[in-house]
Amino acid sequence: MSGTLFIHKETSIYSQLDRFTSSVKFANKIVRKLSAHAHYRRNPRTWEYMERAAAEAFDEFAHSRIIEPDQMSGIDWKPISKVVLIWHDANGLGWAQIEARALRYVTPDTRVFVINGRRRVFELKKHRKRLLLRRLLEKVFAMDLLATVMFVTLTPILLAVDLFRGGK
């Protein structure tokens, strides 16, 4: 086997939700704002940055094929020994379906790597389950929701304690 294939795409986190709400103006406006907020938090890197990062991490980048995910079905996967997914952010938000398709296409001997926006390189098959959990937590703003619930719950209690002790 020989050859490395690089897969690149700038993804939207809520693309399915955006399509679902496209006909409802109010709901679509909320989804667009949510997407903009998530995009800001992700801090995705530019293609130029990722191109340099991939070239530094993989010597074969300069003479390898770079494709978009919609081109995956037209490729002969047998001669490919390595697939590299180029994520623009740290956790690959929006990549779950692309990863699943790539893992279906590759042969058992093909190694699938990721280079993320923080220039970290790792093998996808070993870390996929943990990534799915991290993405879920980030996508639903789990930590933000937890902090809000704690704030709303603890504020009245602390206020009552303070009033009971004679605070102003």
At 48 the pLDDT is: 94
Report the chain's C-alpha Rg in angstroms: 21
The series of mean pLDDT values per 10 residues for the chain, 168 residues long, is 81 70 78 76 88 94 88 90 92 84 91 94 83 69 77 89 80
At 110 the pLDDT is: 92
At 14 the pLDDT is: 67
Question: What is the distance between the alpha carbons of residues 161 and 72, in angstroms, rounded to a whole number?
Answer: 62
At 167 the pLDDT is: 64
Let me know: does 4 contact 64? Beta carbons within 8 Å.
Answer: yes
Map out the domains of the chain as residue ranges: 4-140
At 1 the pLDDT is: 44
Q: Is the pTM of this model over 0.85?
A: no
DSSP assignment string, 16-52:
HHHHHTTT-HHHHHHHHHHHHHHHHHH-PPPHHHHHH
